[in-house]
Amino acid sequence: MTYSIVNLVEPVGASEPSANYPRIPAVNNVPPHVASWARPPTIVVCQHAPISEVQIRSAAKFWQNLGYTFEKIRYKNDTVGACTSEKPWGYIVIHLVAKETRLDPEALAQTRFFVDNLTGKISWAAIHMRSDVRETVLEHELGHALGFLHFNRIDHVMNQKWEMGGWDTHGLRFNQR
């Protein structure tokens, strides 16, 4: 089985984000959506993640309101071992950025998701957050974990630059895809 690793790093300032997805689709008038989940994923907030239970439920609700579903949210109660797994199949895991995480010092967060190239479906996703969690960042990272790439429209939640982003959800609704 082969995979594409989509590795998105969030820049604060002018530095370019890095993505190693082989081809980013020619951008149209909606955010590129490169893959989706075969079944609703479970979100696991790992022990040291700098996120409250209210924050993760609110960010999940943002996407639920757009038509996406999550199997479950596990808040700092990782009895399934997803946080320590190298390939947490079926899960979106959220970690605090660790020393060994390769992340630009200017970046706010990093999300990777793994796509099974046979099925085109997302197998798992990992989000690393800095302790300075700003408004819209968690929703933005969940957007990547759901298969969206950047969409550089002013005020859009998937804008690659945090200060240019906002709460615009154009093109993100599930039944529009």
Q: Report the interface residues with Zn ion, using CB under 5 A.
A: 8, 10
10 or 78: CB nearest Zn ion:
10
Instruction: Provide the minimum distance between the beta carbon of 160 and Zn ion in the complex, in angstroms, as a whole number.
Output: 5
Instruction: Provide the minimum distance between the beta carbon of 59 and Zn ion in the complex, in angstroms, as a whole number.
Output: 14
Instruction: Provide the minimum distance between the beta carbon of 136 and Zn ion in the complex, in angstroms, as a whole number.
Output: 11
8 or 97: CB nearest Zn ion:
8
Which residue, 106, 78, 107, is CA-closest to 92? 78
Per-residue CA distances from 26 to 11, 113, 142, 147, 167 (Å): 22, 20, 22, 16, 23
**Pairing mode of beta strands 36-37, 121-129:** parallel
8 or 46: CB nearest Zn ion:
8
8 or 172: CB nearest Zn ion:
8
Instruction: Provide the minimum distance between the beta carbon of 174 and Zn ion in the complex, in angstroms, as a whole number.
Output: 19
Angle at 63 between CA 83 and CA 59, to 5 degrees: 60
Instruction: Provide the minimum distance between the beta carbon of 121 and Zn ion in the complex, in angstroms, as a whole number.
Output: 21
Reported in sequence order, the residue ranges of 10-90 that DSSP labels E, i.e. its strands, are 36-37, 42-45, 72-75
Q: Are the CB atoms for 45 and 138 separated by under 8 Å?
A: no
Q: Are the CB atoms for 92 and 141 separated by under 8 Å?
A: no
